Structure 1
C-alpha cells in the first residue's frame, strides 16, 4: 500500500482546520506529455516549494511534480511550530560532530527561522508569524535541565531569547498543573502551515517555476540526463530533487532505508471564547517533553489546536480518540468541549532524529526525515539544494556528512521493529519514567 493513497481522497486536502481556513489557490495542471528542465522536483511540500522558488529566482528551468495538491502532506497538516536550532540539542551535536560543526548547525537553524520570516515578508505570503514557543517539562529534573540549557545557549552561542519559567510561571501561561516549569523561546514561533505552503507555491509559480499537481511520480530513470516519469508525462532534466519526505515511498530505496514514515494527529476544538485565555494566556505555541510529544496553540479564532499521539501503520486510527486522551490529561477542564476538526498526517523520522541529506544517485539530491522539526529546516533544505545545484554545496554537504544509520531491517522490516521500539517509549511516557 502507498501512503499517498492510504487515508486521503486523491487530489484533495484532508478535512482539517487548516484546509477550512486556507487562502484559496487555483489548482495547478496535471503534467501531460514531455518536458525538459534544468531541475525536476518530486514533492510539493516546504522542501520542494522552497527549492522551486529559489531555483526559479536564479533563472533555472524548474518543473515540480506533486502527486496530490501542493501542501498536501505534512507541510499542510503539522502543528505550525517554527523551532530554534536542530531537532537534537547542541550538547548532542557537540558530542557527535565537535564544537565547530555544532556551531555551524546552530547557525543553520537560526538561518532557517530567519528564512521563513523573510519569505513571508518578501513575498507577502498569506500567513502571520507569531513569536514564542514554550517548552513544558513534566518533571522538576527536566525543568532544571531546560534552565541550564538556556544558560548554555546564552553563554556559548550568544542566544539570549529563552526565558526560564518556574512551575508557577508555566502554570500561569498554559493553564495546567501538569508541568514543573520549563522555558519560553521568544525567538521561535508558529504559523498557519498550509497557508505558508500555498504562499510558497504561488511565489514559486510567479518566479517562473512550472508546478504540476495530480502528477504522481512512479519511476525515475537515472543517468547523465535523468527522466522522471508520471502516468501521463515525463520530465527530462539535468538534476532531480527528491522532496517527498514521508510520502516518498519506494522511489529510492537508499533514502527509504534511512527515513521512516510515521503518523501524527491533531484536533481543533470549537472556538473557546472567554475560556481561551485560561488555556493559553499568551499567543504562543507549546510543546512538552513527552517522548511522543504533545503540542498545542490557539488558532486565530481561539480554537485549541492540540496535537498528540502517533501510529506506525498505513491506516490512521480514530483521530479524536487518539488525541483526546493526551489533551484531557493536560486540560481536564475541556472534557465538555466540542471537536470540530480532527486529522492525521504522515511525517518522517530518522534513527538519530537529524534530517537525512543524501545524493542517492548521480545528479539526484534528497532531503527528508525532519523528525518533527521541519517547518524551518525543510524550507532551508530546499534553498540549500537549490544552491547545491548551482555549485554552492557547503551547507548541503555539512548535513550530508552526518552519519545516518539504516533502520534495522532496512525498508522491508523497519515497520515492525519501529512499532516495538515506539511502544516501549510510549509505555515509559504512561509510567512517567
Structure 2
C-alpha cells in the first residue's frame, strides 16, 4: 500500500517555495524529513548553484552521487592539484563552468579540454606555471576570466592565444599587466568577432585607458588587405565593466564604438570632488541603449542624474552621494524603472523611502542597504504592487524583538509574493567578483 504524504500542501507548492531559499537554507530544511530531502534534491532547485570544493580527494562516494543527482554544473576548485582535477573529471565530466582559485604549479589546462560541455573557465589567484597558450585547447569556451596572476600578463603571443578563441563572448582581465598603454588589448578587441561582454580592472591591472582605447587599430597601406579581413570595423559590446578606475575619459570615436552597450559598470577608487569635470555626463549621453547602470564611488549622483538615458531599467548605486531632488527627477523621467539598488549611499538631506512606491511604481527589485530606514517606512514599501524581491539591511534601526514581526507583517501585506532578503552583515558587492559561474 502506497504511503500517503502528510504534508498539508501539494508538493509543487513546496518546490516553488524552496526555489526562493539560499543553498544553506535548503540544506537546513533538507535535514528535517525524508520527504523534504527528496524534494530539495530535485535538479530544478540547483540549476544556478555553484559548489566550492576543497581537498577534493577527501570527499566520499555519497557526496559525488549527491552532486550528480542534483546535476551540479558549476564548480570552484580551491587550492587543488592535478590529482584533484583528475578526480573532478572522473566524477563530474558534464561541468559547464569551472573556476580555479588559488591553484599553483600544475599544468591545469591539460584536462579542462576533456570537459566536453565546459563553456565558462576562470583562473583566480593562480600561478601561471602553465603556458597561457594552452587555453587555446579549450576551443568551445564562451566565457573566460583571468584574475590576479602572480606574474604579469599579457605578451603579444598570449594575446594571440586569446584571439584564437573564436567562440568567446565574455572576457574579464583583472590582472597585473605588461601592456600598460593597452595597445595589445586595443588591437585584440577588434579581432574578437563575437565578444559581447568585457570587464577590465585597472588596479592591479595597472593600465590606464587612453581616450582612443575603443577605436580601431590603425592600418597602413602595406598591410591593409591582410588586416581588413582580420579586424572588425566596429565593436559589438553589450556589457562593459571598468573597475578600480581613477578616470575614464573617452574620445567621441571611442564612445561611438560603445553605442551598443546596454549594461555599464564603473567602479571608482574613491569619491570624486564635485569641482572636477564629471566624465560620466559625456559617457551616458552617448549610450542611447543603456538599460543597466552600476556605479560605485565617483561623483555625487546630482552631477549625472540629468544625463541618464530614458532606456534605463536598472540603477545600482554604491557609496554615492544622493539627494531627494535627484531621486524626484529620476522618478519623473524614469518612472518605469524596474530595479533600484542603493548600497551605503550617503544622503545630502533626510530622505523618505516611503515615497518610493509613488515615485517608482514599477519596481520589481529594491535593495536598501545601510541607508537608514525605519519600521514604518519599511512597512510602506508594501505598496509597491509589482515588487518581487526586497533586500534590506538596516538591522540597527529595528528593535531586536520587532524585526521578524515586521518582516512577517510585510509578507502578509504583500500576500507573500515578495521575497524578503535579510543579510545581518555587509554584503556590499566587491569590485572584483571573478567567477566562471
Relative to the length of structure 1, the TM-score reads: 0.23
More helix by share: 1
Q: Which has the higher contact order (CA 8 A, sep 6+)?
A: 1
Relative to the length of structure 2, the TM-score reads: 0.23
More strand by share: 1
Q: Which has the larger radius of gyration?
A: 2
